[in-house]
Structures are given as C-alpha cells and as structure tokens.
Structure 1
C-alpha cells in the first residue's frame, strides 16, 4: 500500500472492522473505536439483528521490482470482493466479527489465482503459502488480499462519520466522498468484483508494466482541475454524473508523472479517432499546458502491436 498515492491511502486507510463507522457506533462504544467491536457495539448490533458482509480488498500487482533490500510491489488495480458460498454473497453476525478480528485467519496472507479485475474472473482462493512453489501463472493474475472489513447491511448514511480527504474545493471533496461511499459501502447483491482504483483496461496495464520495467513509476488514474490541482481518481469517478459536472474538472489522465508533470493518455480508436474527438483532445491538452502539464497520447493500437514504441514515446516526452 506504500506505493499508492496519498489521497488513495487516506481514502482506504480507515477500512477495517465494521464499516462504515457511524455515530451510533461511537455512542455505543463510549470511547475509542477499534476494528474489534466493543461490548456496547456488539450489544447494539445484536439487539438490532444487524447482518454484515465480509469484504476483501484485493491488490493486483503489475510489477515486482527487486534490488537492495525487500522487493517492492507496484499495484495496478484495487478491487473489492465479497465473501461467498455456493455462488451467493454470505452474511454474518456481530458475534462472528468479535471472534474473527485479530484471529489467526485475519493474520494469514490470502490470495486469489487467475484474478482478472478487467473481466471479473478469478480462480482459486487460499493462503499464499499453499501456492508458493506450485503456481506457474503470471504475476498480474494473482490477487493479494491486503485488507478486509465487515460491511453493515442497512445503515443510516447520514450517520456515517467521515474525515477530511484534503481537497481545497469543498464541493469536489463532497462529490469524491459520495463516489467513494458508492464503491466501499454499498452492500453486494451478487458475487462480483467491484473495481476501486487502477488501470481501466488491459492496454493501460501493458504500458504501465513496460514503463515499470524501464525503472519509471507512473501513477494511474489522476484527475486534473483547472486550478492546477491533481488528485487520485477512484474507479469510474470521471464517469460519475455528479462528479463529472463538478466545477473546475478538466480531465482524467491514464497515467501521471508528478516530477516532470507529464500526463499520459492511452487513446483507443473507439473514442479518439473521430475529428470531433481529436478536437476535444486538443482542447484538453491546451488546458493542461496552461498550468504546466504536458500531454502525450499513445494509441491503443501502438500499445498492442509495438509496446516498445509506445513506451519510447512516453520516455521521449519525459
């Protein structure tokens, strides 16, 4: 998680124990809230008959960089996965959570094999130790469980407690938080992956992996505002109708290099080939240049047919 942008870490850092944290939980606890429910919280949920979905936060790794010291993993996607049994999402009681939090199962390292955040497919689930030495698949098809929380089924959204995420614009922070709540706190109706952050297509993953192999460190999915600000973007944030019309939004880049202030766009032919789309892209590039951000656009066809040339184009801009 250290390789994630700070805004994303702030957004996901509180995940653990029962979520979302509410004022009712704080009053029932009568003190400091921890991942393990207090006696007061347990009684409150027990009396109300509240059920919870166990949700796992799964990281997909694009590249493992080795050198001096411990290896560093670079994630390309973060995905939510609900616990399930026989193809259905399972729920549990607060007593299960009291016994589970801090137990042996939570301390173990778990993973999925054949995990594909783009197609919502996965294979086996188990402890990492069980796959070491026998798994021969690609690294980017391993989903590492890096966190878990217990999602309340039925809670008062207005009672949810949130901390500031650090936006200068209050309206942007409010809309970002609303979109975050849709991703993190909406109960699952079926067993399916829910994307939270990261590359939005395989072509972005391919380019990211090649850039990482060359020793570069691109940040996926960065949203730009017309005051020169840039923020990590949650999955589909740019497509959220409420956020899309927030004041000051310029665009969302597929990758961003903060030092040289270079925005990278992976342009598929479907959405960027028409004359109208090209004019729109030129306007976006011009707006970015006004506050010192350069743009480089790489076609999806180039990424698929000549990955080295696509990465060369980015390196030349850097």
Structure 2
C-alpha cells in the first residue's frame, strides 16, 4: 500500500480512487518510448529466440517459420537441451491518470511497466512443457484481460487478487486506481539459453559493438530469469513521491518526460530505448544524473529528493554540472510533495512559464 498520499490528488484527480463500472479500457501508448512499444510486440510465445533453436527446426522446415504457437520440433529442441518448464511472465501496466474518450471508453496513461512472474502461494509458478503442449500459447500470450488489484510497482505484489477485466469492471472498484495492474500480455521464459545466441532485430546503421551493447541491455531486461516474485520495473517512476508529482503536474497540464539521463558529453536522452534512435551508446560512467522529470523544450529538470539522508554535497556537484550545460533544475523533498503538492506544482508551472 502506498502511504502519505496528497490530499490535493484525492480532491482533484478524476478516477483517483474509483474505477467506473462497465467501461471499455485501452492504453495510451504515446506515453511510452516507441521502441519499447515495438519490443513488446515481440514478447510472446516461448522466449528467447536463439540461433540454436532456429537451426534445430531448420532440419525439419527450410526455411523455418517461427510462430507464437510452438511446433512439436521446438518443444523437442527445448527437451534436448534439458528444459522441462518455463516461467510465465506478465507485462503489467500501471496508470497515473485515466481519461474519458469521446466514444465513452477509458484510456490509461502509463507511469510504470513491470514484468511480473506468475506466482502461486507466493512462489514462482512454472509451466511444464507437457502442459504447454496442450495449450494455445498464442492465446495465452495475447491475453490482455487480467487485472491485479493492489499492485504496487515499488514493492512485491502480495495482497491483491487477480481477476478478469470483465469482472473487475463490473464490480466498480473502490480503491486507488494507480495501484491497479493491467496485464497487457504474457510470454514464457526458458531457464536455459546462451546469451550470445539470442536473436534481436539489429539496426544496420549501428556498429556491431553498439548493437552488442543494446543486445546485452535487452537480454538482462527481458530474459533474466526471476528468482522471486518482485516485479521488474522496465519503464517508469522510481518511487511514490515521483508518482504523486507526476499526477500533480498532469492536473496543471504539464507533461514532462519520465526519467531522463543527463550525460557529461552534453547528451540528454530519456532512456536507452530512446538512445536507439541514434547510432550511439553512452555508458553509465558518463552519467551526471538522472532527472526524475524533464521538460526538453524548456531544458528544465525536476528532482524528487525523497531520502531523509539525502547527499546534499553530491547534489551541489550535480547542480554545478547542470548549470554548465545550461540545464535549469528544481528540487523538492518527499515531505513537500506529500504535504504541499499544490504549492510544488505552482512553483514548477511558474518556472516552466518563465521562458
């Protein structure tokens, strides 16, 4: 449960603590990086796709065609390398705001996307090959009809329940809607694979070295096996106070970029998905800081300093580096955001409108 929610949000944000009955619902994908959205559409079926799997089925089918529903030969391949079961991984969205659409449906604006291993009694629930052979894997992979209540993306999912969207929307949920997780799809993760053999689409304009770095990044993000039920956040806010501030700025019609990397090179890039739009790779050793929110059109960075033991001296050094790059910045404590959110948003609005 997320604590210390600002009263300002409870009074002003529509659908904040109530989800209306019998409404169609969709995701506003414009609020996430385009290339991350593209990656989602490849996360289905049995994964990861590897060269050895591809070569194995080539013996039976030339050229081989890989569908979401595995062939008997693909199951034979996995059995040959010792795979007996797969982790079922859900792609779960959380929304900081829910908007009405002209057609009467609802649209969610994402602040978080997590990978969630399916669990049973608190332990990771694996799916055996013999069970998957009896299932329609494509239908399972594309099932976006599940909802997880009390899904706090900043900690493990423990107390909520999973149910179909039809049942959820018929209930008329009375709870905080930003901690409802909407399952967009699912894939089945093999416990055995060679990282070097994983097949990812590559940008032909990039050097082999840069493509290799992006491949490593995505492999660890999407295909690292889970050891516990903790959601793996792959996009979005890092803490509740960031969520609160994002919601407050939304009420003031301010639309920042979530989590933006500012580098010593002078490059300012939201994340590694956005970085793929250019033939570069900038390592974390070149990072000055990551702004919690950034307005690129104003060169304005916003920081949520939540810890009681925040490193003030480190912040001063970061501030000087930002000033050299011509980046303006505002910092707010967790207490300010929780207790004086309206005032904080007014300060940001005033700074934003100066230029």
Shorter-chain TM-score above 0.5: yes
TM-score normalised per structure 2: 0.76
**Structure 2 residue corresponding to 1:228, chosen from 243, 267, 271:** 267
Q: Give the Cα separation in 2 of the matches to 1:253 and 1:303.
A: 16
**Structure 1 residue corresponding to 2:302, chosen from 249, 264, 269:** 264
Q: Which residue of 1 aligns with 2:139?
A: 103
**Structure 2 residue corresponding to 1:83, chosen from 109, 118, 123:** 118
Counterparts in 2 of 1:278 and 1:222: CA distance versus 1, 3 Å:
closer
The 3-state SS of whatever aligns with 1:72 is strand
Q: Give the Cα separation in 2 of the matches to 1:258 and 1:166.
A: 28
Q: Does 1:47 align with 2:75?
A: no
Q: CA deviation at 1:53?
A: 0.7
Q: Which residue of 1 aligns with 2:284?
A: 244
Q: Does 1:152 align with 2:187?
A: no
Counterparts in 2 of 1:94 and 1:71: CA distance versus 1, 3 Å:
same
Contact 2:44/2:141 (<8 A) preserved: no
Q: CA deviation at 1:5?
A: 1.5
Q: Give the Cα separation in 1 of the matches to 2:40 and 2:204.
A: 14
**Structure 2 residue corresponding to 1:141, chosen from 176, 179, 196:** 179
- Which deviates more, 179-188 or 6-15? 6-15
- Which deviates more, 96-105 or 149-158? 96-105
TM-score normalised per structure 1: 0.84
1:293-315 alpha-carbon deviations (Å, 9 max, x no partner): 43332232211120011112221
Counterparts in 2 of 1:102 and 1:137: CA distance versus 1, 3 Å:
same
Q: Does 1:178 align with 2:216?
A: yes
**Structure 2 residue corresponding to 1:298, chosen from 332, 335, 354:** 332
Counterparts in 2 of 1:220 and 1:176: CA distance versus 1, 3 Å:
farther
Q: CA deviation at 1:48?
A: 3.4
Q: CA deviation at 1:243?
A: 4.6
Counterparts in 2 of 1:106 and 1:230: CA distance versus 1, 3 Å:
closer
Q: CA deviation at 1:168?
A: 6.8
Q: Which residue of 2 aligns with 1:27?
A: 55
Unaligned runs of 5+ in 1: 235-241
1:228-284 alpha-carbon deviations (Å, 9 max, x no partner): 2413258xxxxxxx9532xx433211112333343221123545453x223223223
Q: Which residue of 2 aligns with 1:112?
A: 148
Q: Does 1:317 align with 2:351?
A: yes
1:33-77 alpha-carbon deviations (Å, 9 max, x no partner): 232223432221233341211110111111012253553311111
Q: Give the Cα separation in 1 of the matches to 2:92 and 2:345.
A: 27
Q: Does 1:38 align with 2:71?
A: yes
**Structure 2 residue corresponding to 1:5, chosen from 11, 28, 33:** 33
Contact 1:37/1:97 (<8 A) preserved: no
Q: CA deviation at 1:208?
A: 0.5
Q: Give the Cα separation in 2 of the matches to 1:176 and 1:117.
A: 25
Contact 2:262/2:289 (<8 A) preserved: yes
Rg larger in structure: 2
- Which deviates more, 249-258 or 103-112? 103-112
1:116-163 alpha-carbon deviations (Å, 9 max, x no partner): 111223410111111223221111110000121110111111111123
Q: Output the aligned Cα RMSD.
A: 2.8
Q: Give the Cα separation in 1 of the matches to 2:169 and 2:126.
A: 31
Q: Does 1:254 align with 2:292?
A: yes
Q: Give the Cα separation in 2 of the matches to 1:172 and 1:266.
A: 32
Q: Give the Cα separation in 2 of the matches to 1:100 and 1:267.
A: 47
Q: Which residue of 2 aligns with 1:132?
A: 169
Q: CA deviation at 1:3?
A: 2.1
